[in-house]
Amino acid sequence: MGEDVNGLSDRTALLWGRREEQRRRGPKPALSLADITEAAVAVADAEGLAAVSMSRVAAGLGNATMALYRHVRSKDELLALMADAALDEPPDEPLTGDWRTDVRNWAHGALAAATRHPWAARLPVAGPPLGPRNLAWFDRVLAALEPTGLSAGERVAISMAVLTHVQGQARLGADLAAGWAEDPEAFGARYGQQLGLVVDPHRMPALARVVADGVFAGPPGGDPPSRDDAAGAEEFDLGVTFLLDGIAAYVARRT
């Protein structure tokens, strides 16, 4: 891609509204990037990500498809705008100064922001954080890690590790929640029963021992798990704890 506005790439200029600003000389246009992005998000919320197309968004706005192309050059650009718009803004309260607390809070906040629109977990990740909201979240986790005393490069690497955990949970959680909606019983005691019937202790001894320990027995009383339990909410927090413990061990070796 070539450079577009003041040295910015096309994608950066798009996400930060610089391309739009460059076009604003003359009469005010009937459409704006904000209008288009909001309409695309509304289509995805109502009909799913697969329904999003330039023509469908244009129809929702009461405009011809070509009117959108004056602002957004392709569906890929539209999806990039949606990916940033789908996030909530990060919290604006001050960090506590305790990096473990702040990184844990960041992980849970980022997960909540990423799952506000379930379809957002399906969007392709085409590169590092670039949009205004994505960078605001990136800034906050970097700030949370500053008390560790680690280098800037180390803090970036740790941020990416925590972000990978968040993004993985967002996608897996969305898939599991959809499966739970179709058949909650499949996530409860019935799952453990099914494993007990097919897991051969000679071929899969470790898994057989876990099944025998009742890990997959489901909640007491035989009720199916809640949607959050099915989506792995407890496992996500445990994963954050493992990451924090690993970071703490690394910090202890480095400082």
Q: What is the pLDDT along the chain (255 residues), one digit of tens a residue?
A: 445 567 888 889 999 988 877 665 655 667 899 999 999 999 999 999 999 999 999 999 999 999 999 899 999 999 999 999 999 899 999 999 999 999 999 999 999 998 899 899 888 887 888 999 999 999 999 999 999 999 999 999 999 999 999 999 988 888 877 788 888 878 777 888 999 999 999 999 999 999 999 888 876 555 666 666 666 778 899 999 999 999 999 999 987
Same domain, 74 and 147: no
Q: What is the CATH number of the domain that holds 244?
A: 1.10.357.10
Q: Give the orientation angle of helix 99-114 with respect to helix 233-254, to 10 degrees.
A: 140
Paired with 9 in beta bridges are: 3
Residue 227 pLDDT: 63
Helices (H), 183-222: 189-198, 205-212
Count CB neighbours of 30 within 10 A. 11
Residue 223 pLDDT: 61
DSSP H/E element including 36: helix 33-47
Residue 200 pLDDT: 97
Tokens encoding 241: 């704890």
What's the CA gap between 142 and 127, in Å, rounded? 18
- Structural domain boundaries, residue 80: 3-85
Instruction: Tell me how far CA of residue 86 lies from CA of 37, 104, 115, 158, 236, in angstroms.
Output: 10, 21, 9, 24, 21
Same domain, 119 and 144: yes
Looking at residue 217, what DSSP letter applies? S
Same domain, 52 and 148: no
DSSP reduced 3-state for 236: helix
Same domain, 73 and 49: yes
Tokens encoding 133: 């909201």
Tokens encoding 174: 């969305």
Q: Is 211 a member of any domain?
A: no
Q: Is 63 a member of any domain?
A: yes
Handedness of CA 90, 93, 97, 100 (dihedral sign): negative
Same domain, 171 and 52: no
Q: Is 170 a member of any domain?
A: yes
Which residue type does 203 have?
A: R
What's the CA gap between 77 and 180, in Å, rounded? 33
| Of the candidates 63, 61, 158, 174, the residue with the CA atom closest to the CA atom of residue 106 | 158
Q: Looking only at Cα atoms, what is the longest distance across the chain? A: 76
Q: What is the dihedral of CA 7, 11, 12, 14, to 10 degrees?
A: 110
Same domain, 110 and 29: no
Residue 27 pLDDT: 59
What's the CA gap between 43 and 41, in Å, rounded? 5
Residue 2 pLDDT: 47
- Of 27, 55, 85, the one marking the end of a domain is 85
Angle CA 175–178–184, to nearest 5: 120
Residue 5 pLDDT: 63
Q: Is 67 a member of any domain?
A: yes
